[in-house]
Amino acid sequence: MLLILNILFLVLQLASMGVLGGFVNIPLLTLLVPLLCVINLVFFTIWMLRFQWPAMLFIGVLAISLQEWQLLYQFENRGIPTSKGLNVMSYNVRSFNRFKWLEDDNVSSSIESFVNETNADVICFQEFSKDQAPSFKDYPHQVFKPYVKDGKIGSSIISKYPLVNSKVISFEGSQNGGMQSDLIWKKDTLRFYNLHFESFRLNRADSLISSNYSEKIRRKLQAVFEIQKEQVSQFNTLSQSSPYPEVVCTDLNNNAFSLPYKLLSKSRVDSFTEGGTGLGATYYFSSLPLRIDFIFTSKALTVIDYDTHGVKLSDHRPISAKLNKG
């Protein structure tokens, strides 16, 4: 019985990671990748302690899914150690605690202090509230674009370098959206996209790993996956006309095993896989560590370093990447 359960969970892991391709396509499983990996590691430990052959099953699965494991966990930083480069940060600030999710009246000023300490050159904010935002006086170039017309919440890019040709990116029928702006960096121009794709809009009572999980939640998530897929496809079409190397900072609201991620990363570099270390989790849902925030780049850019910051001033963790040309 234990062996049958082990085989079942190994197959589910392969399916959730997309190793089985189109043969098995269950989008909701992608959110459970971390949990399935832990379960199979427990099985592996049991077999190893018993010195029994089924331990080889996990090793075999690991071997055929090694590339997918690297989307979940990086064992070493493959970045290039150097002090030179453009420091880029992406951060969903949850409206600077506008709706008092945290019992802290100083979230806005704490985020400003954190940004100043990291000394990033460019920061892309999602869920940026104009009313709650600090001045960020160390950043002379600042652009804000609301998600909806005349809205107070949207995307913002602040920079130490000039920003030009800024435009709104709207997703029809959605409260989410984004913006684009061209950054003049030394003798180069880089096109920055700051995007916030469709949210799950689940509350604390919703769970994927408890008895509270229901058919209603499943349908809700499935609908969001479809909307995200359409939004990413819309963005990919838009970005094809870019004449410059691009940097895409995004709260994807989905992880690296999802179809929206695959569509977004198809012609781009995920900076975490090039310069990150560890899980790189940026969001925790029902205690599951998920990497749903990303910095993608054109292949014309080199990822020198990558970091997931531990600061807890939002429901998301900020991420940063150091980039260079060529």
pLDDT (tens digit per residue) in 68-110:
888 888 877 665 666 689 999 999 999 998 778 888 889 999 9
For the chain, what is the domain count? Answer: 2
258 in a structural domain: yes
165 with 31, same domain: the answer is no
Question: Model's pTM, two decimal places?
Answer: 0.92
Half-sphere exposure of 60 (CA within 13 A, CB side): 9
Mean pLDDT of 46-57: 88
Query: So what's the pLDDT on residue 23?
Result: 46
269 with 180, same domain: the answer is yes
287 with 170, same domain: the answer is yes
141 in a structural domain: yes
On whether the CB atoms of residues 231 and 198 are closer than 8 A, the answer is: yes
Give the domain range for residue 160. Answer: 86-325
Distance, in Å, from the CA atom of 241 to the CA atom of 225, rounded to the nearest integer, reads: 26
Give, in order, the Cα–Cα distances in Å from 43 to each of 7, 13, 59.
Answer: 10, 13, 12
Query: So what's the pLDDT on residue 77?
Result: 66
99 with 244, same domain: the answer is yes
On whether the CB atoms of residues 77 and 276 are closer than 8 A, the answer is: yes
